[in-house]
Amino acid sequence: MISAFANAFKLPDLRKKILVTIGLLVIYRLGAHVPTPGIDGSKLAMFFERLAQGQGTLFGIMNMFSGGAIHRLTIFALGIMPYISASIIMQLLTVVIPQLEKLAKEGEMGRRKITQYTRYGTVGLAIMQSFFISLWLENPAHFGGVQMVPFPGIAFRLMTVLTLTTGTAFIMWLGEQIQEKGIGNGMSLIISAGILSGMPSGIMHLISAVSPFDPGKRTMDPLAALLMIAVMIAAIVAVIMLTQGERKIPVQYAKRIVGRKVVGGQATYIPFKVNQGGVVPIIFAQSIILFPATVAAFLPNPMIQQVAQSLRPGDWMYTIPYVFLIVFFCYFYAAISFNPIDVADNMKKYGGFIPGVRPGRPTAEFFDYIINRITLPGGFFLALIAVFPDMLTKWMGVPHIVADFFGGTALLIVVGVALDTMKQIESQLLMRHYEGFMKRGRIRGRFS
């Protein structure tokens, strides 16, 4: 693997792509520390630390995707979340609106048009979110009487909307530049860079808990820390298996005579991913189940406070609905992302069939049967990985900033992005007759 990395820097074009990607990610991380004007950042950071401490509300999710920028409310505070929301909304609308569905089937031009609509949606969502954030910051009642904005008013609101929206648009542009001139998926790499930025803090928390030089301040046994590292390695292996797992359906194409040529007669397969939705089901489930806790942080209603207290990460009243929602959204995402009727019709049109299954409607029913069979265990496995950090925090007393690297959304994103990036680098090396990362077999990407 070390020789593969060395060979990657020997190729001028690949070296340029890697350096461009690293440079753009460094720019993103520098921007995540530039404060938004007109806000007392130290007081706001203390409020967020007291409010969520990195978990228990929707701010924990937003802070993870923005790489800690939301807690400091920097110019990149909204992060890439508006783009993710706009992409998911466009994906749902493509299934519902026939015009968008027709546009998605028009090839490259249609995809460009949908990408353009996604950009407009991202800017619109960023304007709306930043405006409500400015209104929220201006009201001292939300912060226990503490004045976060020294000079509130229309000028502050316009400045906040302009700053945060521009920051989100700039992040979107960075992701597109990485996609075009760098290596890997730009948006995914930006999210991973934000997540990995919390790794040094997590390592320092773990070292502080073990306290190798001061046993009197030790809160965790060193053997337990070694066991945790072994568990983390096992969790990474499990996430790789979940990300790469797929069911291959063999497809045979009949021979056809087109003019004077005989075409077809080839055998291929359709891969059905075990984890079809990736990390999207976890994001949806977290957004729904953490909503009461987020509302309770701002509305001192006794009923809402009681519901929020019962839905704490690690408790069974939180875990059971959380697992159910993840499995539900796995089925939901599989239903909207794969249309078995369209695939079966296209196969029939081009002379393709599954051995032992009749073309047309029986093939669509077979696809539906396979999706239902593989989505259920995949959903439960995804739910187990998602709740694993909460279990470590609740039962073993592991700090949540450390437990986050043992599973959940962060580990799924980082491992998936790392596999995709390594696959792209490996394909570039193999094109030029260099040995890849793996001497036996090849890395399969999430979409291969």
Give the span between the Cα atoms of 400 and 52, in whole angstroms.
11
Measured at the alpha carbon of residue 123, what is the angle toward residues 326 and 287, in degrees to the nearest 5?
20
Report residue 215 CA to chain centroid gap: 39
Give the span between the Cα atoms of 310 and 321, in whole angstroms.
12
pLDDT tens per residue, range 260-313: 666 666 778 888 888 887 777 887 787 777 766 666 655 556 666 666 666 666
Count of other CB atoms within 10 angstroms of residue 276: 21
- pLDDT, mean of residues 369-396: 83
Give the span between the Cα atoms of 421 and 183, in whole angstroms.
7
Query: How sure is the predictor about 96, in pLDDT bands with cuts at 50, 70 and 90?
Result: confident
Give the span between the Cα atoms of 119 and 264, in whole angstroms.
40
CATH 1.10.10.10 corresponds to the domain 1-197 = no
Domain with CATH 1.10.3370.10 in the chain: 1-197, 214-406
Cα–Cα nearest to 271, from 440, 111, 445:
445
Report residue 22 CA to chain centroid gap: 20
Q: Determine the number of helices (DSSP H) and then strands (DSSP E) in the chain.
A: 20, 5
Poorest-pLDDT segment among 102-111, 179-188, 245-254: 102-111
pLDDT tens per residue, range 131-170: 988 888 887 776 777 788 888 889 989 999 999 999 999 9
Give yes or no for residue 35 having a pLDDT over 80.
Answer: yes
Q: Which residues, at least 6 apart from 136, have a Cβ–Cβ distance to it below 8 Å?
A: 142
Entry pTM = 0.77
| 214-406 homologous superfamily | SecY subunit domain (1.10.3370.10)
Cβ contact 108:67 at 8 Å = no
Q: Which residues, at least 6 apart from 89, have a Cβ–Cβ distance to it below 8 Å?
A: 121
pLDDT tens per residue, range 226-243: 777 787 788 888 888 888
Backbone phi and psi for residue 251, each to the nearest 5 degrees, phi listed first: -130, 130
